[in-house]
Structure 1
Amino acid sequence: MTGWLHSWRAAVRIARRDAWRSKGRSFLVLAMIALPILGVSAADVTLRTSKPSAAEQATRLMGAADARVSDPEYGGVAVQQSPSGDMSTPADKKYDDQPPPEGRTDLRKALPAGATLLEDSTGSGKLRTAHGLLHTNIRELKAADPLAKGILTPLDGRFPERPDEVSASARFLEESGLRIGDTLTARGLDREYRITGSYEVPDDLKSVQVNALPGAFLEPLRKALDGTGAATPHISTAHLLRLPADSGRGFTWNMVKEANAKGAVVVGRAVLLDPPPDSDVPLFQREGYGSFRLSPGADRELLIATVTVVSLAMLEICLLAGPAFAVGARRSRRQLGLVGANGGDRRHIRSIVLAGGLVIGVAAAVVGTVLGLVLAFVLQPWLEELFGARFGAFDVRPLELLAIAAVAVLTGLLAAIVPAVTASRETVLASLTGRRGVRRSNRVLPLVGLGATLLGASIALYGSLVSEHFVLVAGGSALAELGIVAMTPALVGLFGRVGRLLPLSPRLALRDSVRNRGRTAPAVAAVLAAVAGTVAVATYATSDDAQRRAEYVSQLPHGAVSTLLTEDGGRDVPAVREAVQRHLPIELRADVARIAIGRPGCAPYSSEAGCGRTELIVPPANECPLWVETEEGEDPASRFSPEQRRKLADDWRCQHGDDGYVPTDDGLLVADATLLKVLGVDDPGAEKALAEGRVVSLRKRHVDANGALSLRVIPDAKAAEEAYEAKKPVPGTVKTLPAYQVRDGIRSYGVAGVLTPAAAEAAGLTTAPMGSYYTTDQPPTSEQRQRLDADLAKLGGDVVLQVEAGYESENSITLLALTVFAGLITIGAAGIATGLAQADAEADLKTLAAVGAPPRVRRTLSGLQCGVVAVMGVVLGTVAGLLPALGLRLTERRERLRWFEENRDAGYATTADLPHVPIVIPWETFGVLLVAVPLGAALLAALLTRSRAAVARRAAT
């Protein structure tokens, strides 16, 4: 045992001295291992830091209070809630089928005696800014109170101390153009407030918000707007609660349940810090709530993604470290030969090479971990702004970082095993002379690699499509990547066949790389590993963004604007149109009106005396059987078997209409053919039908087999509601109008049909102007909208303004950041790997110097050799990185499809709910990698190649 220990001590000492003697090569080897360790440790610390602890979450929610108490607005009936308070429902199950009573909960009766309360109310309103009007969240909270400390973070100035003062979020000041010291007012409120400071909301840095003292803003605004026709703010009030000092353990779960029995929802600090078991949460025992909370499919998707990413990250570390020690061992051949010449056996040589792996591994672990901590700390402010929320305290988990560092050390040892065995097998003469001898390519290894690639791909696809064992996805992807690595020498040879098509210099570089596969293949494998990670991240993120884009439901065609007003019979519609065209880049305008029954001032859905309404009748043949209620009041879907429900899910009658909002009773608009152009109705027969006096129907279910549309005119809306409740026939007359049904696939955007003013007059229908639809040259800016809101506010009416800017990707910035970050790591790995390969090819550069080649030639050859290695690594890495991303997307598709099928068989989902989980290949990212990585590696190698190289003396033969 003592001899073994002394032998290893000597080996470590020799390895340390050799590493110190060859600082350049040691630095490259260290950098190769430290680079992924840096990334993994930085990601670990960032992930832990980005999730605030339970104590930090409690502080952001309730400050220094013991609990946050709110009214769920269930009329004071007993409730059940989740421990975090994000879900609540009336405890009595009878309210599952009927609305709870109206009214508010008396929170003070639900709270312990002697508790200290601080009111926290929220609402919204339109505030006047330097540009016009800006819809703003209004929060009434005495933020300077010690009980509220931590909810809002002050940035500059101070929180309000008087009723005529407010502070504003940094985002509000940015959007509004106002500054501290300015005054602001609200639409409809004749009162000024001075801005005394700025702050941020830790959980929402993008919040457009102002803060005032309790009772100073929202209630005066509500009273000012009440009766004016403008929308009044909905005020939600909660209370921060502090228990008496002698209360003991804080607001416990039992106290929460007692407050629930009195109609209050409570989030307790003690409950957040120590949540109760699910078995003690009544809400989770109710059917549907437990499964909704747990979301096993989503949890499994997250687990699969985590395991896959971690597995591939560890594999990448091993592949990056392998070429480093292979080159290091070859550069130390003469020293190892001297050990053998002085009596050292193969065991000693293996120990020295392995000790080199240990020394570099330990150094890389320390350097990578420390730099990872620094990187996470430096990037934290930028990442917080990117994701729109402040992270928690800088969270360093020593055990996790120690495990990552241990992986670096273990990786160093494992990566040194093959070079150690290879070095120990060389003869002393070959080591001293530097001769490599004649090397033949291994014919078995490529076959083994091909088999591993096919087997790994099959396992990954099986795990994503069939099996429930998520480890198969990660294991299969890793096995396939290892298979590609094993085939790398043979694939490098195949790349050599392209040389005949290249100019002289790149052809020489390619042939040299193919001829020296021993140094080229490890470098290619290292680049492959780095690129595979980049490709996997980019493919998954791009596919997820495409899914979100497909799920987005636009309210209007892209770039379109609508302004609709239903008050006072459309009296202010001309002024609204003039304001829109003055402030927005309008291209085309389509004026619309609505059918008005009763008094001219009656609004849609009104039940006031003298007001009527209209409704479109669905022909019995067009009704979906799954929706037809029975007299017994049972669930209509329960009358059908699962097989019948599946068939009905595909029936066009049971498809949900596209989302959209038109403030009319029936969705009918009175307009000319211009509206069809604005809505993008691309049907040649539609405009002709309008000219012929027919109704253009945008919803298939309203047109009967005879091509007619039935409209019920109800003169008394209140009487109709009473008839509905009594399940009696609705009073009114039915008008049958000739209709034209547009072709399938055309969006309606909430519009059920269009008829001309002449057709409405011919049918005996009165109309009232309602507004206009517009197309724009370009999407309106925030400043233009604020100016428009300011002009519309002068009219005093409640104008429904919609601007369709299209889907705004939440992942675009994140995807860009991930791609750039991964690309930098890839370029760094490529540069280091090819630099090591060039260190191994130093003899060739010296030969060029000996025959008189100028420095430019040596730099060009060196750069092209690195570029060739990088190109091969990028191509192979792209293929290897696609597999894990495809596996993850296929797994998500299966999980979502399973959820859809369960709901479809239960009668709750139709074909319109079929999940769309696309797989999108990011060709742009591939193109950038294919150009940027080789170009960066080539330039880096050319710049680092020394201009003057000493001519080496040949060893005596």
Structure 2
Amino acid sequence: MRGWHTWRAALRIARRDALRAKGRSALVVAMLALPIIGVSGADLMVRSGQLDTGERLTRLIGAADAAYRDEAEGRPLYQSPEADQVYWREGDDATSAGAGPADGEPVPLEEVLPDGARAITERTVWGLDVQTEAGIGFTALRELAVSDPLAEGLLTLRGGSWPDAEGEVAATEAFLAESGYRIGSELTLPDLDVTLVVTGAYEIPGALGDSELLTVPDAGLLGPGTQYLGWDHGTRYLVSRPGGVSWDEVMAANDSGWVVVSRQVVTDPPPRAEVPLYAQQLDYRDGGVDGEVAAVLVTVVALVITEICLLAGPAFAVGARSSRRMLGLVGANGGDRGQIRAIMLASGVVLGLVAAVAGIAIATVGTLLLRPWLEEQTGARFGSFDFRPLEMLAIAGLAVMTGVIAALIPAVTAARTPVLESLTGRRGVRRAGRVLPVAGGAAFLLGSGVAVVGGLQFDSTSVVGGGAVVAELGLVAMTPVLVGLFGRVSRRLPLSGRLALRDAVRNRSRTAPAVAAVLAAVAGSVAVATSVAGDEEQNRADYSARLPHGVVAVEAVEAYHADLLDGTRAAAEDTLPVDRRVDVRRIQPGPENCGLWSGSGPGCGYLEVLTPPENECDYEKFEADLAAARAAGELPEELDWRCADASGSHMSALEASVVVAGPDLLELLGVTDQRAVSALEAGRAVVFRRALVDGDGRFRLGLYDEDPYLESDQWPDEDTLPEPDRQVAFPAQVAQGLTDDDGVPMSIGLDAVIPASAAEAEDLRLVDYASLYTTTHLPDSAEQQQFNAALKEADGGAWVYIERGYTGDQGLVLLVLTLVAGAITIGAAGIATGLAQADSEADLATLAAVGAPPRVRRTLSGLQCAVIAAMGVVLGTLSGIVPGIGLRMAVYRQHQEWYEPLYDPFGTDAPQLFVAVPWGTIGQLLIVVPLVAGVLAALLTRSRVGLTRRAG
């Protein structure tokens, strides 16, 4: 009973002390509540974003009992109960339903529907042209009787009304925003030659960003042949059947090539033994828990607790100093150390409970208010608001636990303080220990070494992560010493700066945890940002540009494109920001009306690039050498250049591998080899593959009167390919130095550029083929739509390609990381500054008494906040780069181990290590965040302070 009475009294004293010092208590509650807001808000958002089975089925099949789709045209198949895995049957085997065309006779829906079923039809075609205010855009068109009860839940009307007659459509909000239309507007579908009225705006709950139009099924817009205008997404049937569709009925439909999503089956799936797909061992989903994800979650929770304790601990320490007289009176009246400790720990319980209630309440309200914005950002509507009391109770317990942990060290310190020292208010003199910084330095070196060596020698990110955590904890332990080192620069600062920095150094027990908290937040963000930046750099390097950045290629590929070439050029020149134009011709073996692809036919001939016999790759020898190298566990240091050159990339914006043009084409393509330019000016061919030039320096072409590939049952190889009817040879120069604007080697897929004089000298037929344009800037969406409209007016158009370069998608990730780290930094620095003000009232009163102007208080507050933020950001940046680089090394090792057993010079290139420092993120953290923190602290601080009597 004595223990209960002790804690009861301690809780009453802690509650009264918290009410008496409202400002300090508010700071502690704020620090405890901030992570609780984040954790509980994340829990509410994740849980609300996770759809239950009923919600998922509503978005997938509406209110129907099942959805039927013909996937195999009569060919039997296997499917999983949720129809997320489908395989065609191959006797006792099976292949993926996306592997190729089905062979069989389609089975009508009426023969697979169970008795008593009713069905409505839904059909969607993507990629249809639509007239917009700027020009021509692309959209999907869906036919569905949306007013039918079976379609309820598939779409959500946001304004206006659903279409109910021919000539009416509803449009998604994404389409209206992109096209410039609104409800009541008239729009035109040029491909269908119809004008429609927009009657309403709607959204697709699971795909808010999709551009789509909706019409009634009997409008006749998606008739026979419409699939050739876009990408036919196919037809499915929403089915209603009393009692639902059973698993046996689903399997019966599978026998006829139909895939079925059944509400009854998904809600109550059959045993695995009754699913043929599982019996064939075709289930490739991993149902286990990802150990790495679990480790990350545990680490995040641990870091959250550490973060709270680092900042809340000094707040309790300041509170203990502010309440030292009260604690001294408890000791003077017979209170023992245990009771004093209980009072301080009770403060953690009381403030933790307040923080838990406030944090969960704020998170709940904030989630409700931010829900529409969050749904827009994720591109999908959440499900029902999911507040789980047990999880919220666990989060509240986390707040109380961390409050107690944060108060533990101040409680022990307060209990050990002599009663006389507490009553007089003297702090005494304490020397900083040396053991903790030395141990921290050793941990930092050890952890950094483990992270780096782990990245170089192992392929596990866990080793790198473990080393990074040890290094960061070591740096946290060294923070008091590092804060003291920062104090040495104070003599070079003006008055307010010297006061701020010296106050931070003098009160390291308050400053060091705040700096460590900022360090931890910034280190994590910089580590992830470094890894993301390296991944972005790798993606950029892997991107293969077809042309220099911004170049527009207009090309006559098909035979009918030749008649559209001039119109396409005019459209490009009228609507796109083109600058310089280079015309290109090609060699045509047959009549001029023959194309490169399907336009070729009997009598069109064929052009073959001939490889000199001495430059042919001996594939058998090469494969034998490669097999021997694999058996020896090593890769060949050098490759036969003839084999490597033969496997070069041929991805190009120009389909013709040999073109006829002048030196201006080489300049546009970025060929910097002056020898190649001079050769072309002198009438010699320029070749981009060394293996195509023989020992005499000549490049050869073979011309066939008939295409040898046209009537062959199988693709002819080098041995079966007949001799060409005619051969021509050109003196040639091999070009070097083909790179894009960023200096990355570029393969445009051309074999050779031949000057017109050389081609005409050989009496070759030349036809107008393509034009390449440089641009003043990349065409934006409006210019692209105007260009599409101009092409439509020109009765279509030739083949067009615009090289937009690599477009990364990591900018948002880096921005979020910067914002999160910045918010934590500003919050931690602000709270530490508030504690400093609460702890330094007497010093500020002394400054006012000796005549310091009022602005000194405001300036001092701002600089205190900026100093803490700057120290934490600098140390966090140094701490975060090491694990970020280690993670990139670990990823490289994983790719290397995957690549070595499968090494093939004709396939994937060997992996490379890409490390990039996110200078933008680091710059914002180093400069912007401390500046913002200091300005906010200065603006929120009162300039004047009342004079108080100093004790002691």
What TM-score results when the alignment is normalised by the length of structure 2?
0.89
Distance 2:607 2:712 in 1: 16
Counterpart contact for 1:535–1:882, Cα < 8 Å: yes
Q: Which amino acid aligns with 1:615?
A: E
What is residue 75 of structure 2 aligned with on the other side?
A: 77
Aligned partners of 1:267, 1:705: CA distance in 2, in Å? 65
Matching residue within 727, 747, 757 for 1:735 = 727
Give 1:614's aligned residue. Answer: 607
Deviation at 1:887, TM superposition (A): 4.6
Asked whether the equivalents of residues 569 and 601 of structure 1 are also in contact (C-alpha less than 8 Å), the reply is no
Find the counterpart in structure 1 of residue 665 from structure 2.
675
Partner of 2:742: none
1:90 to 81, 85, 88: 88
Partners of 1:763 and 1:54 in 2: how far apart?
A: 72
In the TM superposition, residue 437 of structure 1 has moved relative to its aligned partner by 1.1
The whole-number CA distance in structure 2 between the counterparts of 1:543 and 1:517 is: 37
Whether contact under 8 Å (2:33, 2:358) holds in the other structure is: yes
What pairs up with 1:586-735 in 2 under 5 angstroms? 586-606=578-598, 608-618=601-611, 641=630, 646-647=635-636, 653-654=643-644, 657-658=648-649, 660-662=651-653, 664=655, 666-717=656-707, 720-722=710-712, 724=714, 728-730=720-722, 732-733=724-725, 735=727
Query: Residues 742-781 of structure 1 correspond to what in structure 2 (within 5 A)?
Result: 742-743=735-736, 746=739, 747-781=746-780
Q: Offset of 1:773 from its aligned partner?
A: 1.2
The aligned counterpart of 1:317 is 308
Q: Which moved more, 1:164-173 or 1:718-727?
A: 718-727
Choose 797-806 or 278-287, whichever is displaced more: 278-287
Equivalent of 1:918 in 892, 914, 918: 914
Q: Quick check: 1:362 aligned with 2:353?
A: yes
Alpha-carbon distance in structure 2 between the residues aligned to 1:21 and 1:418: 22
The change in CA–CA distance for 1:51 and 1:687 in structure 2 (over 3 A counts) is: farther
Residue of structure 2 equivalent to 1:228: none
| Partner Cα distance (2:808, 2:540) in 1 | 7
| CA deviation after TM superposition for structure 1 residue 384, in Å | 2.7
Superposition deviation, residue 3 in structure 1 = 0.9
In 2, are the aligned partners of 1:67 and 1:267 still within 8 Å (CA)? yes
Query: Pick from 403, 409, 415: which aligns with 1:418?
Result: 409
CA positional deviation for 1:7: 0.5
After TM superposition, the structure 1 = structure 2 runs for residues 502-513 of structure 1, keeping only pairs within 5 Å, are 502-513=493-504
Going from structure 1 to structure 2, the CA distance change for 1:529 and 1:78 (only over 3 Å counts) comes to same
DSSP-derived class of the 2:375 partner: helix
Q: How far 1:387 sits from its partner (Å)?
A: 3.4
**d(CA) in 2 for partners of 1:395 and 1:585?**
51
Confirm or deny: 8 A CA contact 2:150 2:240 kept in the other structure. Answer: no
Residue 106 (structure 1) aligns with: 107
8 Å CA contact 2:65, 2:241 repeated in 1: no
Report how far residue 86 of structure 1 moved. Answer: 5.2
Measure how far apart 1:775 and its partner are.
0.8
2:200 corresponds, among 185, 190, 197, to 197
Shift of 1:832: 0.8
The one-letter code sitting in structure 2 at the alignment partner of 1:552 is Y
Other-structure match for 1:244: 241
Contact 1:323 1:526 in 2 (8 A): no
The question of whether the paired residues in 2 share the 8 Å contact of 1:719 and 1:731 is answered with no
Tell me, in whole angstroms, the C-alpha distance in 2 between the residues paired with 1:295 and 1:594: 56
Does 1:233 pair with 2:230?
yes
Deviations 1:166-185 (A, max 9, x none): 22222222222222222222
Amino acid at match of 1:183: E
**In structure 2, which of residues 549, 560, 565 is the aligned counterpart of residue 568 of structure 1?**
560
Structure 1 residues 842 and 217 mapped into 2: Cα distance closer, same or farther (>3 Å)? farther
**Cα deviations by residue, 1:338-396 (Å, 9 ceiling, x for unpaired):** 11111101111000000001111111122122222233333332233233333333333
In the TM superposition, residue 774 of structure 1 has moved relative to its aligned partner by 0.8
Distance in 1 between residues matched to 2:693 and 2:255, nearest whole Å? 51
Cα root mean square deviation, aligned: 3.6
What does the per-residue CA deviation read over 1:609-662, in whole Å, with 9 as the maximum and x for residues that have no partner?
A: 4333323345566666679999xxxx9998995559944996663586446344
1:367–1:477 Cα change, 3 Å = farther
8 Å CA contact 1:627–1:637 kept in 2: the answer is no
In structure 2, distance between residues paired with 1:285 and 1:163: 49
Q: Name the residue aligned to 1:211.
A: 214
Query: Which is further off, 413-422 or 541-550?
Result: 541-550
Distance 1:589 1:570 in 2: 18
Range with bigger deviation, 842-851 or 710-719: 710-719
Give the secondary-structure state (helix, strand or coil) at the position aligned to 1:768: strand
Q: Equivalent residue for 1:41?
A: 40
Question: Contact between 1:830 and 1:933, CA under 8 Å: does it hold in 2?
Answer: no
Q: Distance in 1 between matches of 2:613 and 2:300?
A: 54
Following superposition, the deviation at residue 81 of structure 1 comes to 4.7
Which amino acid in structure 2 is aligned with residue 549 of structure 1?
R
Gaps of 5+ in 2: 740-745
Secondary structure in structure 1 of the residue aligned to 2:198 = strand
1:30 Cα deviation (Å)?
0.8
- 1:685-731 alpha-carbon deviations (Å, 9 max, x no partner): 22223233333233455445554444343333376442536874447
SS in 1 for 2:194: coil
Q: Any conservation in 2 of the 1:165–1:194 contact (CA below 8 Å)?
A: yes
On the 8 A contact 2:709/2:715 being kept in 1, the answer is: no
Determine the C-alpha separation between the residues in 1 that align with 2:703 and 2:675.
28
User: How far 1:495 sits from its partner (Å)?
Assistant: 1.1
Q: What's the CA shift for 1:143? A: 2.9
Distance 1:826 1:720 in 2: 68
Displacement of 1:603 in angstroms is 2.7
Match of 2:427 in 1: 436
Q: 1:64 to 1:353 in 2, by over 3 A?
A: same
Task: Letter of the 1:237 partner, please give it.
Answer: G
CA 1:641–1:533 in 2, change beyond 3 Å: closer, same or farther?
A: closer
TM-score (structure 1 length as normaliser): 0.89
Give deviations 1:148-167, integer Å, cap 9, x for gaps. 22322222222322232222
Q: Write the letter of the residue equivalent to 2:568.
A: V
- Corresponding residue for residue 396 of structure 1: 387
CA distance in structure 2 between the partners assigned to 1:627 and 1:218 by the alignment: 57
Q: 1:456 aligns with which of 441, 444, 447?
A: 447
Q: Cα distance, 1:197 vs. partner?
A: 1.7
- Post-superposition offset of 1:514: 1.9
Q: 1:185 to 1:676 in 2, by over 3 A?
A: same
The alpha-carbon deviation at position 10 of structure 1 amounts to 0.5
Q: More deviation in 802-811 or 261-270? A: 261-270
Distance in 1 between the 2:102 and 2:118 partners?
29
CA distance in 1, matches of 2:638, 2:113: 49
When structure 1 is superposed on structure 2, of 134-143 and 273-282 the one drifting more is 273-282
Asked if the contact 1:527/1:874 (under 8 Å) is kept, the reply is yes
**Distance (Å, rounded) in 1 between the aligned partners of 2:683 and 2:137:** 43
Aligned equivalent of 1:259, options 253, 256, 262: 253
| Structure-2 change in CA distance of 1:390 and 1:917 (3 Å) | farther
Distance in 2, Cα, partners of 1:387 & 1:316: 28
- 1:785 Cα deviation from its structure 2 partner: 1.8
Deviation at 1:742, TM superposition (A): 1.8
- Higher deviation after alignment, 98-107 or 234-243: 98-107
Instruction: Quote the Cα distance in structure 2 between the aligned partners of 1:43 and 1:650.
Output: 53
Relative distance call for 1:276 and 1:724 in structure 2 (3 A) is same
Amino acid at match of 2:156: T
User: Of 132, 135, 139, which aligns to 1:129?
Assistant: 132
Match of 2:167 in 1: 164
8 Å contact from structure 1 (residues 140, 217) kept in 2: no
Residues 815-836 of structure 1 show CA distances to partners (whole Å, capped at 9, x for unaligned) of 3244224312321221012211
Q: 1:468 to 1:719 in 2, by over 3 A?
A: closer
Q: CA distance change for structure 1 residues 875 and 774 in 2, over 3 Å: closer, same or farther?
A: same
Q: Does 1:30 align with 2:23?
A: no
Higher alpha-carbon deviation: 183-192 or 419-428? 183-192
Q: Is the 8 A contact 1:51 1:391 kept in 2?
A: yes
Structural mapping, 1:578-589, within 5 Å: 578-589=570-581
Which structure 2 residues correspond to residues 889-904 of structure 1 after superposition, within 5 A? 889-904=888-903
